[in-house]
Structure 1
Amino acid sequence: MTETTRESMEYDVVIVGAGPAGLSAAIRLKQLDPDTQVVVLEKGSEVGAHILSGAVLDPCGLDALIPDWKEKGAPVTVPVKEDNFYVLGEQGKLRVPNFAMPPLMNNHGNYIVSMGNVCRWMAEQAEALGVEIFPGMSCSELVFAEDGTLKGVVAGEFGRNADGTPGPSYEPGMELHGKYVMLAEGVRGSLSKEAIARYDLDAASDVQKYGLGMKEIWEVDPEKHSEGRVVHTMGWPLGKNAGGGSFIYHLDNNQVYVGFVVHLGYENPHVFPYMEFQRFKHHPYVAELLKGAKRVAYGARAITEGGWQSLPKLAFPGGALLGCAAGMVNVPRIKGNHNAMLSGKAAAEAAHAAIKEGRSGDTLESYDAAVREGPIAADLKPVRNVKPLWSKYGLSASMALGGFDMWAGSLTKWNPLGTLRHGKTDAEATGLAKDFAPIDYPKPDGKLSFDRLTNVSFSMTNHEESQPSHLRLKDPAVPVEVNLPRYAGPSARYCPAGVYEFVTEEGKEPRFVINFQNCVHCKTCDIKDPSQNIVWTVPQGGDGPNYPNM
């Protein structure tokens, strides 16, 4: 096989991913020195196209980065006015009083936003400072120096045939080299995953844990809309099958974000996260809100939930992990964007200081220290035991013991439970199908609930079909020979986009089919596959979902 020859470009800092972490790093680098050469590479067709978040934004990250964001017209205009927490039963609900929850759970001063639109605005701020931003540029490989230092990435490779060979319009892409390379790909990024393994960055941390977040945007009856209302629920329909809960956020223009999160550490392989979400909308409280409403968008994304104890080492020779590439979500608060911004700012300051001293390609130890000793640590450490308690003992224990531990951590900076461990990975947590009863899910009604393929059409997802599948199998035999008999083929259920299916034809063995065109880039398959046989990689640039205002 002929080795591909590529041209290269040199920058001071190369940033992979135009999310809140990557854009914050780019902006801060230019604030510190306008002459710093910074490039941001984004796999989405435009900035924001692949951004999906709840989102209630804690503005502390934006305050630190761009203090005059209001004057500059940031799309952060819907303050939280009402904050409700409910535990649901099948027909009713029980409100958890706000006074019973630690102050850190208070959403006063936060805003309901579209993070896609916030990132679009941040990109405008970055470009005004001289940052080069290239959307539609998937980064498919890391580039290393002879001494093993990370020196760059390969971006913009297009035109391979389905079998992987170069097609007639093949473009090899370019190598973009930097004194430092910042990986801000978001959850379970393919390059971040490679860097963590290569440099053994998770050697001293606990396993990472994840959730699957699914979200729809609805236009509701103006009489039922209450701009600024925030609702979170736990309990039904998940029960003991899985951890998780919902969010309902009333933004402006009579729109409501309706979302559902399922923790991926569930044991029963018959759990169907997408159908749990659809069933949730039939709860009387939710159904009444959505009666006569119109669903206008859908998407899904994995969420890093391991928290403080699962943070890997954040800096390595020539590179750094930013935001959710490392995992900085505060699980009980359901927030991570502020920490992503703060991490980007801290990484930029470390890189700026190093470049100013004439350094390059070394390990930015000061960045790792800034995260572990600064505001991100102050946010994550008090809540570090909620997730492991929830995973091991269920909802009631996490609310009681986790609440007590959070209260103590918030008030005294000391957690009575110490630091609990997560135990198994989400893939390892999957049990055998024979040990669990199948779950009968109601058929979608087409009004409140929808089948997956119909909903995927509302994500505006598109992939060039002639390219190789970006969903790779380590062993093509495993899905049918191992996952189907042992785990009842869970990929057909855990994927929120209907990518995977087992096709059975009369008189023939089942076939495993990958419909990669449907993929919304959530990464759940890479995380939850019990055999860890599916590897998520990037498709060619610009492909995937095209979220308008998620």
Structure 2
Amino acid sequence: MEFDVVIVGAGPAGLSAAIRLRQLAVEKDQDLMVCVVEKGSEVGAHILSGAVFEPTALNELIPDWQEKNAPLLTKVSEDNIYLFRGENKSIKIPNLFAPKTMHNHGNYIVSLGNVCRWLAEQAEALGVEIFPGFAASEVLYNEDGSVKGIATGDMGISRDGEKKDSYMPGMELHAKYTLFAEGCRGHLGKELIAKYELDKGKEPQHYGIGIKELWKVPADQHKEGLVVHTAGWPLSESGSAGGGFLYHIEDHQVVVGLITDLSYSNPHVSPFDEFQRYKHQAVIKQYLEGGERISYGARAITKGGLQSQPKMSFPGGLLIGDDAGTLNFAKIKGSHTAMKSGMIAAETVINAIASEKDNDDLVEYADNYKQSWAWKELHTQRNFGPAQHKWGNLLGSAYAFIDLNIFNGKLPWTLNDPEPDYAQLKLASECKKINYPKPDGKLSFDKLSSVFVSNTNHEEDQPVHLKLKDQSIPIEVNLEKFDEPAQRYCPAGVYEVVRDDDGNNPKFIINAQNCVHCKTCDIKDPSQNIHWVTPEGTGGPNYPNM
């Protein structure tokens, strides 16, 4: 199938690019065919974010979004920031002393999945074709090395690689330009970065894993519009960095989550179990106790900032959104910057097509992006993440206060963070084991019951989408050195080490059906032995209001 532009991923960046392309085509009276492919069963099925939403980009893209009933329903009414010193100890930080990036006046608490569903409706009304349930599994190249488009994965292939009765071949989608908006650690984006050396001269990308739950709580514990951000316990006990959040949205619902930086060094750390402990902290517990957990999910985030941002253009395409690392970690927000990157991409691409430039390397995108408020925002806050890694949450936040509140991000230096997250792990023998408490089934839960409420499902008889480059490494290297950390960094119970009745003969098991597509294994494996690829289309979580 031939299109002018193919977009991979129906998240904020991809849908904003599609909408802007069609808006410009209408303005210019230009016939432009735009297609979006989405691996989730529907738009929004795989979207997971906090999310406190800054409407800057939306105001530009669809100024009348309120009249069009965009699902921005809960305005932030109050900001609280805490430093947790233990399960029952906390210090409330006066807003005056918090980095100004943590102030949320004028923002909204949203389900980003529902925002994307609404954006998809706006895109389709403008003539964009959206294909949910089709996973882009392969980049197609022209003979000159430029990107020709993508191929969606075959469906109905057995685990052994045989065609089943349900077999349906994938489609080739060709385009003048292909925009990759897969989100954090997109597997095609990863391939393109390597092929075109887009990260040459850049620092390695840095990541966190965000784990989130949606709760229904008693009415007297609910404060619609309240935003709570936290640092410290429980991550501080294991020497890990990160922070938590709790947002009160409409209908007596609360979202609660914990972001663990994937730069942690103790291989015994389990981000999932850290999150279960987090919900027992007194400040968080007061809102959740007596409530009901509705949904669960996990997703990696890119947080390296400008220092880690790859070159975003290559012959025939662009990386946009979190495929390129546009998240602003100082704000713990990325939707508005992802949307803006997609809008700038649309403006760059349509000008190229109008000039009859096909499959070019649109190097002008970098200049257009650099002129935008999105780039300027990331430049102002470029030192937040490295400061957190160098000096920890407390001193890092103190530096951020000086840098952002006093000097407005104009200090004349840029901090470095040159070591990749996977290389930070120490040997298991050098680190303290962590005995996490058993879940109580009220506030804390196990992994399998959590995966159940994420509505995760994959066709069981299909090739495993978690590829090992070397089958021997999990046991012979990772188990020996690091007590195989995949058992703990995966928030869905995908990886297990099982032994015989005598405790011998360890085997590495991959429960691929549990995968929630967070990509943490692809990022944190100390041997870089796990390669995440797309499973059969529609597979994975089905998040309702996350």
TM-score, with length taken from structure 2: 0.97
Q: 1:488 aligns with which of 483, 489, 493?
A: 483
1:208-357 equivalent positions in 2, closer than 5 A: 208-239=205-236, 240-357=238-355
Report the counterpart of residue 445 of structure 2 in structure 1.
450
1:374-433 Cα distance to aligned partner (Å, 9 max, x none): 1111211122112112112212220122221223452xx5124x1111121111111111
Whole-angstrom distance in 1 between the partners of 2:40 and 2:134: 7
Q: 1:29 aligns with which of 14, 21, 33?
A: 21
Q: 1:194 aligns with which of 191, 195, 217?
A: 191
Report the counterpart of residue 541 of structure 1 in structure 2.
537
Q: Does 1:120 align with 2:117?
A: yes
Q: 2:512 aligns with which of 505, 510, 516?
A: 516
Whole-angstrom distance in 2 between the partners of 1:445 and 1:369: 53
1:45-104 Cα distance to aligned partner (Å, 9 max, x none): 000000000000000010111111111110012110001110011112111111123433
Whole-angstrom distance in 1 between the partners of 2:15 and 2:283: 38
Report the counterpart of residue 4 of structure 1 in structure 2.
none
Q: Is the 8 A contact 1:382 1:409 kept in 2?
A: no
Q: Partner of 2:276: helix, strand, or coil?
A: helix
Q: What amino acid is aligned across from residue 539 of structure 1 in structure 2?
A: P
1:413-492 equivalent positions in 2, closer than 5 A: 414-416=410-412, 418-492=413-487
Q: Is the 8 A contact 2:457 2:541 kept in 1?
A: yes
1:275-302 Cα distance to aligned partner (Å, 9 max, x none): 0000011111211211110000000000
Q: Is the 8 A contact 2:475 2:508 kept in 1?
A: yes
Instruction: Kindly state the Cα deviation for residue 257 of structure 1 after the two structures are TM-superposed.
Output: 0.4
Q: 1:162 aligns with which of 159, 162, 170?
A: 159
Whole-angstrom distance in 1 between the partners of 2:386 and 2:80: 24
Q: Is the 8 A contact 1:192 1:321 kept in 2?
A: yes
Q: Is the 8 A contact 1:408 1:414 kept in 2?
A: no
1:481-523 Cα distance to aligned partner (Å, 9 max, x none): 0000100110000000000000011354100000000000000
Whole-angstrom distance in 2 between the partners of 1:105 and 1:115: 19
Whole-angstrom distance in 1 between the partners of 2:223 and 2:306: 35
Whole-angstrom distance in 1 between the partners of 2:528 and 2:417: 18
Q: Partner of 1:427: helix, strand, or coil?
A: helix
Q: Is the 8 A contact 1:138 1:157 kept in 2?
A: no
Report the counterpart of residue 175 of structure 2 in structure 1.
178
Q: What amino acid is aligned across from residue 213 of structure 1 in structure 2?
A: G
Q: Is the 8 A contact 1:383 1:409 kept in 2?
A: no
Q: Does 1:373 align with 2:365?
A: no
Q: What amino acid is aligned across from residue 24 of structure 1 in structure 2?
A: S
Q: What amino acid is aligned across from residue 224 of structure 2 in structure 1?
A: E
Report the counterpart of residue 2 of structure 2 in structure 1.
10
Instruction: Kindly state the Cα deviation for residue 156 of structure 1 after the two structures are TM-superposed.
Output: 4.3
Q: 1:98 aligns with which of 91, 95, 100?
A: 95
Q: What amino acid is aligned across from residue 532 of structure 1 in structure 2?
A: Q
Q: Is the 8 A contact 1:483 1:490 kept in 2?
A: yes
Against the structure 1 CA distance between its residues 409 and 198, is the aligned structure 2 distance closer, same or farther, given a 3 Å change threshold?
farther
Q: Partner of 1:403: helix, strand, or coil?
A: helix
Report the counterpart of residue 528 of structure 2 in structure 1.
532
Q: Partner of 1:394: helix, strand, or coil?
A: helix
For structure 1, list consecutive stretches of 5 or more residues without a partner in the other structure. 1-8
Whole-angstrom distance in 2 between the partners of 1:530 and 1:373: 38
Whole-angstrom distance in 2 between the partners of 1:394 and 1:332: 14
Q: Is the 8 A contact 1:270 1:433 kept in 2?
A: yes
Instruction: Kindly state the Cα deviation for residue 360 of structure 1 after the two structures are TM-superposed.
Output: 0.8
Q: Is the 8 A contact 2:457 2:539 kept in 1?
A: yes
Q: Is the 8 A contact 1:408 1:415 kept in 2?
A: no
Report the counterpart of residue 3 of structure 1 in structure 2.
none
Q: Which moved more, 1:506-515 or 1:274-283?
A: 506-515
Whole-angstrom distance in 2 between the partners of 1:522 and 1:104: 26
Instruction: Kindly state the Cα deviation for residue 196 of structure 1 after the two structures are TM-superposed.
Output: 0.5
Q: Is the 8 A contact 1:243 1:263 kept in 2?
A: yes
Runs of 4+ in 1 over 6 A off after TM superposition: none
Q: What amino acid is aligned across from residue 224 of structure 1 in structure 2?
A: Q
Report the counterpart of residue 136 of structure 2 in structure 1.
139
Provide the aligned C-alpha RMSD in A.
1.1
Report the counterpart of residue 493 of structure 2 in structure 1.
498
TM-score, with length taken from structure 1: 0.97
For structure 2, list consecutive stretches of 5 or more residues without a partner in the other structure. none
Q: Does 1:83 align with 2:58?
A: no
Q: Is the 8 A contact 2:100 2:401 kept in 1?
A: no
Q: Partner of 1:256: helix, strand, or coil?
A: strand
Q: Partner of 2:422: helix, strand, or coil?
A: coil
Whole-angstrom distance in 1 between the partners of 2:407 and 2:376: 10
Instruction: Kindly state the Cα deviation for residue 165 of structure 1 after the two structures are TM-superposed.
Output: 3.5
Instruction: Kindly state the Cα deviation for residue 43 of structure 1 after the two structures are TM-superposed.
Output: 0.1
User: Share of identical aligned residues, percent?
Assistant: 54
